[in-house]
Structures are given as structure tokens and as C-alpha cells.
């Protein structure tokens, strides 16, 4: 003889995995869930579930209802009916069906291009509240669902319907319409065309390195392209080196143009016919060579890409290095030589070091002593004896 055992499950801890959370939406569903959890935990008295209503909401709702009379923990008599009625009255606007207008449904129909399943889900999101609020009928819902299909699908769907169902009041149900439309995408039916339903080419927009749009209809032979790349492995390296060289030249041109703008009008005098301009050029081997140009009137055209090739680089030096134009007006003026005053020390002159030269007179009275020695013949001067505590301590230690 078998016996039934009642297994009790504890109420979920608030904030734990699987515990309900009330954020203000669908209060009726939340209360039903709390009631079911209480029955699984063996709580038969619904009044004991009032405290759990306060535990599961988010912080903002918890702070709102915690000290109300219907949820106050200090109140001895709290009833389930009063608590549920209070909670529903607070969030009654968020417990109803969303307010959707017919215009929202029309906008969705004319802009939708999703597949059948997503189209049905999104369509139900708009149509269900309208039917509940009795703003549209079920016949109007069925008609709107069909008219929202794509033109290509709508034409095919129209041919599959019974002639009696091709009118507004007799349109097929949404569920029946979905079944018919899915036959077009079924791989086992004769209506499926993989060469037309493979990919949407309008969603694959690509551009080349030059910024030109690539036509998706152009087919490229990948095997031939890979074969060419394998036959010329050095071509990509050469192109990369050339591209890097162009980047360096463009960067230097930008730096030179910025320095050229910083030169004031006083430094850039109007050039004459015999102006000479130094131009730095780079050959194919990246060797630097200087070229002297004559009769060059427009300095601004040196930066024009139409005048010079990209491989030629023009550099204009400022007054700190080389003058832009080698004319008398731009050359620096000659300065007077700076006179250096001779030092007063006589040893820097020939007469000075002869006087200090030691004498060779021996046994005779020297005309001049070489060095004056302190032999004690002079008058003794004052003497000083300096002591300090540090020296005294040192002597005592010794």
C-alpha cells in the first residue's frame, strides 16, 4: 500500500537565484507567484505571506510599501486581501494592457521586413492589447496581418488562398496565414527557391581601398585570385613598401607646409626673377639630392600636387638654417667685428713672463728674489687659538 508524502520547499531567499523580483510591472502575476510559493512551502494561511510581499520587490518599491498600514511589520493584524488590494491600487496603471493606437500598428505594418516568426511575435504585441481594449475586431486583426506582409510574399499568399478568403471580412486567421506562408520557406516544398532566398544583397555593402562602392552582383573567382597571389608573393611587399613611402612623403609635406605658414610676411620678401630656391628631391632609391631652381616666382605652387610629382619633396628652410631666397634683401646684414679687450694680467704678454723668469746670478747680490720665504724675520702678527666642543671631545677620546 503506497502512501503519499508532502514535500515542503522553503520560500526562496530574496535576491537569490530563482527568487521572484517585483519591479512594479504585472502586480497580479507577482501576487499569484507568491501565493504558489507559499503553498509549496506549506503555508496555508495567506496572511503570513504579507511579509514576503515586502521582501521580494526592488529597493524603491520596498521603501514605498514597507511602512504602510497594510505591510507594517509592527501591525499585528495584517490580511492578505488588504495587502494585495493596496499593491494593485498603487501599480494599477502598469498592470493593465499597454495603450497602443491603431496608428502604431499601421506604422509597424508598413515598415516591417522581418521573417514570418518575428513578424508574428511583433504583430501580436500590438494587436493583442487592441483586441482586449475592444478597439479593433478579430476580423480587422486578420486583415491587418495579411496587409503587413511584403509585396512579393503577399502576391504569392494571395494566390494560395481560397477565393472566398480574399476579402477584408473573410481574411484567414493569423495562425492559418502563418502556416501557409511557411510553406514558401519549407525546403521540402516546390515553392522553395534557394537561389532567390539565399541572402539579402542590400545588407552587404562593401567598399574598396579607394572608397569606391563594390557591386555585390559582381562575382569573383576566389581560386584564380589566390593563385595569382601565390605566384607573386613579393608583389604585396612591394606595394606595402610603396604605400609606406607615400605616407612618409605626405607626412613630411604636411610638416613643411605648417612651417611655411609660420614664417612671417617680413621674412618672406617678394621674390625677383633671379631668386634661387633649394629643393630637396627623393629618387627611387630614396637618395636625397639638392636642386637649385631659378626664376621661380610663385612659392605657393611648390606645394601644388599638379606642379610636382608625389615622389618629389619641396623643403623651404627658415631663417634659422638657410634663407629661402639668396638675394641681398634676404641675406643677413654684415656685423661689426667684436673687439676683445686684452686682460690686465701681464703674464699673457711677452714682457710679463720675462719679468717672472728666475735669475741666473750666483754668489752675487740678487737683484730680485725669486721667491719671498717666510723666515721669521718679520714682525709676528696676532695669533688665534680656536677650540670647539667637538675637538675637545676628540682629544679626550684619544
The owner of cell 610638416 is 255
Is the per-residue pLDDT at 266 higher than 70? no
257 or 64: which leads in pLDDT = 64
Residue 352 CA to residue 270 CA, distance in Å, equals 58
pLDDT of residue 324 exceeding 80, the answer is no
Mean pLDDT is highest, among 187-201, 232-246, 355-369, for 232-246
Return mean pLDDT, the chain. 69
Is the pLDDT confidence value at 209 over 50? Answer: yes
As a whole number, mean pLDDT of residues 258-276 equals 51
Residue 199 has pLDDT above 70, yes or no: no
Q: Would you say the pTM of this structure is higher than 0.85?
A: no
- pLDDT value at residue 323: 42
- What is the pLDDT confidence band of residue 33, given thresholds at 50, 70 and 90? very high
Which residues, in sequence order, are bridge partners of residue 276? Answer: 294
Task: Map residue 199 onto helix, strand or coil.
Answer: coil
Q: Cβ of 70: how many Cβ atoms within 10 Å?
A: 19
Cell numbers for 288: 636625397
pLDDT of residue 274: 43
Distance separating alpha carbons of residues 18 and 44, to the nearest angstrom: 22
Cα atoms in the 13 Å half-sphere on the side-chain side of 331 = 8
- Residue-level pLDDT at 186: 65
Distance, CA of 283 to CA of 134 (rounded, Å): 83
Q: Give the residue extent of every domain in the chain.
A: 27-90, 102-185, 236-330
Q: Report the pLDDT averaged over residues 37-61.
A: 89
How confident is the model over 260-270, as a mean pLDDT?
52
Q: What is the mean pLDDT of residues 220-230?
A: 50
**Residues ≥6 apart with Cβ < 8 Å to 291:** 278, 279, 280, 281
> C-alpha grid cell for residue 297?
616666382
Q: Is 69 or 363 the better-scoring residue by pLDDT?
A: 69
**What is the arithmetic mean of pLDDT over 316-328?**
45
Q: CA-to-CA distance for 88 and 85, rounded, in angstroms? A: 5
DSSP class per residue in 40-100: HTT---GGGGHHHHHHSB-HHHHHHHTTSTTT-TT-S---HHHHHHHHHHHTSTTSSPP--
Q: Give the angle 243-244-250 at the CA atoms, nearest 5°.
A: 90
Q: What pLDDT does 80 receive?
A: 92
Average pLDDT over residues 351-371: 56
Read off the pLDDT of each residue in 152-159 and give the average, rounded to a whole number: 78
Q: What is the 3-state secondary structure (H, E, C) of 150-211?
A: CHHHHHHHHHHCCHHHCCCCCCCCHHHHHHHHHHHHCCCCCCCCCCCCCCCHHHCCEECCCC
Query: Is 70 exceeded by the pLDDT of residue 53?
Result: yes
Nearest by Cα to 98 from 63, 129, 140, 144? 129
Strands (E), the chain: 206-207, 213-214, 276-282, 288-294
CA 189 to chain centre: 48
Amino acid at each position: 500500500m503506497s502512501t503519499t508524502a508532502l514535500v515542503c520547499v522553503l520560500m526562496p531567499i530574496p535576491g537569490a537565484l530563482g527568487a521572484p523580483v517585483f519591479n512594479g510591472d504585472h502586480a497580479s502575476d507577482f501576487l499569484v507567484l507568491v501565493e504558489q510559493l507559499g503553498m509549496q512551502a506549506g503555508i496555508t494561511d495567506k496572511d503570513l505571506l504579507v511579509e514576503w510581499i515586502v521582501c521580494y520587490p526592488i529597493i524603491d518599491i520596498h521603501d514605498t510599501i514597507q511602512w504602510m498600514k497594510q505591510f507594517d511589520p509592527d501591525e499585528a493584524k495584517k490580511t492578505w486581501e488588504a495587502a494585495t488590494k493596496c499593491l494593485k491600487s498603487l501599480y494599477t496603471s502598469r498592470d493593465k494592457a499597454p495603450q497602443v493606437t491603431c496608428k502604431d500598428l499601421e506604422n509597424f505594418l508598413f515598415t516591417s521586413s522581418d521573417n514570418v516568426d518575428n513578424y508574428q511575435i511583433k504583430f501580436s504585441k500590438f494587436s493583442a492589447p487592441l483586441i482586449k481594449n475592444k478597439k479593433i475586431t478579430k476580423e480587422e486583426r486578420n486583415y491587418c496581418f495579411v496587409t503587413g506582409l511584403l509585396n512579393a510574399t503577399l502576391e504569392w499568399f494571395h494566390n494560395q488562398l481560397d477565393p472566398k478568403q480574399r476579402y477584408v471580412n473573410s481574411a484567414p486567421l493569423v495562425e492559418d496565414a502563418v502556416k501557409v506562408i511557411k510553406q514558401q520557406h519549407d525546403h521540402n516544398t516546390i515553392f522553395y527557391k534557394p537561389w532567390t532566398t539565399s541572402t539579402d544583397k542590400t545588407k552587404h555593402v562593401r567598399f574598396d581601398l579607394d572608397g569606391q562602392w563594390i557591386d555585390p552582383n559582381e562575382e569573383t573567382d576566389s581560386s584564380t585570385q589566390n593563385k595569382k597571389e601565390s605566384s607573386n608573393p613579393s608583389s604585396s611587399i612591394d606595394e606595402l613598401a610603396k604605400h609606406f613611402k607615400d605616407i612618409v612623403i605626405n607626412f613630411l609635406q604636411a610638416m613643411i607646409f605648417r612651417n611655411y605658414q609660420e614664417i612671417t610676411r617680413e621674412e618672406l620678401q617678394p621674390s625677383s626673377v633671379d631668386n634661387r630656391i633649394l629643393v630637396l628631391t627623393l629618387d627611387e632609391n630614396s637618395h636625397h639630392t639638392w636642386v637649385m631652381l631659378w626664376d621661380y616666382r610663385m612659392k605657393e605652387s611648390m606645394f601644388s600636387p599638379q606642379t610636382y610629382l608625389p615622389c618629389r619633396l619641396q623643403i623651404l628652410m627658415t631663417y634659422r638654417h638657410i634663407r629661402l631666397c639668396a638675394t641681398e634683401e634676404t641675406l643677413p646684414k654684415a656685423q661689426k667685428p667684436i673687439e676683445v679687450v686684452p686682460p690686465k694680467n701681464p703674464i699673457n704678454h711677452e714682457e710679463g713672463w720675462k719679468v717672472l723668469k728666475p735669475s741666473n746670478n750666483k754668489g752675487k747680490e740678487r737683484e730680485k728674489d725669486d721667491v719671498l720665504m717666510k723666515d721669521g724675520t718679520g714682525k709676528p702678527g696676532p695669533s688665534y687659538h680656536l677650540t670647539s666642543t667637538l675637538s675637545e671631545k676628540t682629544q679626550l677620546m684619544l
